């Protein structure tokens, strides 16, 4: 995405990376030196009262620098990539008007892609249709719904596992609402130009085993901090179910099933850590695709002892460009 005079656009820094890669610390290190305001790029941090399991920045961390797009919706609600793009573009303009630099930091790679590349013209979520699809899945199983998708849109079904409930649900929803294959819907794009020049910095581990160790230790810390009790409070305070996006967040689904008595605490720990590692793997796959398509992207080793200095140096180079 370009404009006739891209050099005249104010900059915005993107800081992306997998879970447990140190994005929060790196963002705060930038905030200690540069006049930035942080815009969260995280589909879990938008939810109120989901603090421990999302590794939400602490009140002290949020007080050190202005933060945006945290605690903005109820766990009963949905928040989409389209909503993020609209909110982020508005905030970037507002932050720039204050003479400051937007720093968009997080790990929801779809949001970064939507921001930079625009959005496909997809129908919004239809709660009634989703409930129907979920009911069919409960009765027939997700492989049967995958088979239905294969009849309606063979190309889309070929790209999904028969047990990938979330993506099968959305694919069926789009095909049923639009009456056209996913590829055709995705080809229709809103790619309105950005008002900012993006400076993307990606964090990636030089050794995934070390990142996996971080993930394990962090989840253990969440358990000690009261993660199970947090999910209990959410269940008592809100009208939630496992089909809602908030409860599909990594860790929350496993904690919900533990509270339902489906398995013991050791199994909860094993399943949540495994799911988080899979999330990190998907995030790194996104980043590899970004690296291939975004020539301006700078990738740094998130395990470096000099990570804060490396991020600051990369940001300064990008801001001077």
Q: Would you place residue 145 in the very low, low, confident or very high pLDDT band (cuts 50, 70, 90)?
A: very high
Q: In sequence order, what are the residues at sequence separation of 6 or more whose Cβ sits closer than 8 angstroms to the Cβ of residue 101? A: 10, 11, 12, 13, 34, 35, 36, 37, 95, 319
Residue 180: the pLDDT is 85
Average pLDDT, whole number, for the chain? 93
Residue 44: the pLDDT is 98
Q: Specify the pTM.
A: 0.83
User: Residue 229 pLDDT > 80, yes or no?
Assistant: yes
State mean pLDDT over 223-236: 98
User: Residue 5 pLDDT > 90, yes or no?
Assistant: no
User: Residue 1 pLDDT > 80, yes or no?
Assistant: no
Residue 189: the pLDDT is 63
Q: What is the three-class DSSP state of 39?
A: strand
Q: pLDDT tens for residues 239-291? A: 999 989 999 999 999 999 999 999 999 999 999 999 999 999 999 999 999 99
Q: pLDDT tens for residues 90-128? A: 999 999 999 999 999 999 999 999 999 988 777 777 888
State mean pLDDT over 50-73: 97
């Amino acid at each position: 995405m370009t404009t006739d005079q891209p050099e005249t656009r104010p900059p915005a820094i993107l800081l992306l990376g997998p879970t447990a890669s140190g994005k929060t610390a790196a963002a705060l290190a930038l905030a200690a030196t540069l006049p930035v305001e942080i815009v969260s790029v995280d589909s879990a941090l938008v939810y109120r009262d989901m603090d421990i399991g999302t590794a939400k920045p602490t009140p002290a961390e949020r007080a050190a620098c202005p933060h945006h797009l945290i605690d903005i919706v109820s766990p009963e609600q949905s928040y989409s990539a389209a909503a993020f793009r609209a909110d982020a573009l508005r905030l970037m303009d507002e932050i720039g008007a204050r003479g400051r630099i937007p720093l968009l930091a997080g790990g929801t790679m779809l949001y970064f892609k939507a921001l930079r590349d625009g959005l496909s013209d997809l129908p919004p979520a239809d709660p009634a249709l989703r409930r129907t699809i979920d009911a069919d899945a409960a009765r027939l199983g997700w492989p049967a719904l995958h088979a239905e998708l294969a009849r309606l849109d063979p190309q889309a079904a070929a790209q999904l596992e028969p047990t990938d409930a979330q993506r099968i649900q959305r694919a069926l929803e789009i095909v049923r609402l639009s009456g056209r294959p996913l590829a055709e819907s995705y080809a229709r794009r809103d790619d309105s130009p950005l008002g900012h020049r993006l400076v993307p910095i990606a964090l990636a581990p030089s050794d995934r085993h070390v990142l996996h160790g971080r993930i394990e230790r962090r989840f253990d810390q969440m358990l000690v901090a009261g993660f199970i009790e947090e999910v209990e409070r959410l269940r008592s305070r809100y009208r939630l179910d496992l089909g809602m996006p908030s409860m599909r967040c990594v860790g929350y689904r496993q904690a919900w099933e533990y509270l339902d008595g489906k398995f013991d605490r050791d199994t909860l720990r094993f399943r949540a850590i495994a799911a988080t590692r899979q999330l990190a793997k998907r995030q790194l796959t996104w980043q590899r695709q970004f690296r291939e398509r975004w020539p301006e992207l700078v990738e740094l080793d998130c395990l470096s002892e000099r990570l804060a200095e490396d991020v600051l140096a990369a940001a300064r180079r990008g801001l001077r460009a």
